[in-house]
């Protein structure tokens, strides 16, 4: 039983490192937010495996929950501002005077 748990911990740690590296290398903001939320979820599982349920609950609530929602709301605002900027541009490509 302990052998399988150790293998699972190693796999989770490798996935954690992959998420940490890929969130920095990803160009798309939405993809980066999703990878960050995956990172927090994996970290939550690792806290449970290390027998720290209080930290696991905090990581799930703050790391994957609240931070993810705030990042998504920020992305929505960024997209709305980009659309507003596109609407204000004249169609012929010249600046307004």
Backbone angles phi, psi at 28, to 5 degrees: -75, 130
Q: In this prediction, what percent of the chain has a pLDDT beyond 70?
A: 91
Q: Which pLDDT band holds residue 80 (cuts at 50, 70, 90)?
A: confident
pLDDT exceeds cutoff 80 at 89: no
Residue 44 near residue 16 (C-beta atoms within 8 A): no
Task: Report pLDDT digits (tens) over 42-66.
Answer: 999 999 999 999 999 999 999 888 9
Mean pLDDT of the chain, nearest integer: 88
As a whole number, mean pLDDT of residues 38-45 equals 94
Cα–Cα distance between 55 and 53 in angstroms, integer? 5
pLDDT for 73 equals 93
Q: In this prediction, what percent of the chain has a pLDDT beyond 90?
A: 67
pLDDT for 87 equals 80
Cα–Cα distance between 56 and 81 in angstroms, integer? 36
């Amino acid at each position: 039983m302990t052998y399988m748990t150790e293998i699972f911990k190693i796999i989770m740690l490798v996935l954690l490192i992959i998420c940490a590296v890929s969130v920095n290398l990803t160009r798309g903001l939405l993809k980066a937010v999703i990878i960050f939320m995956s990172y927090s979820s994996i970290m939550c599982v690792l806290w449970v495996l290390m027998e720290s349920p209080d930290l696991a609950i905090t990581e799930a609530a703050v790391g994957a929950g609240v931070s993810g929602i705030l990042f998504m709301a920020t992305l929505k605002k960024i997209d709305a501002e980009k659309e507003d900027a596109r609407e204000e541009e004249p169609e012929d490509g010249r600046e307004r005077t």
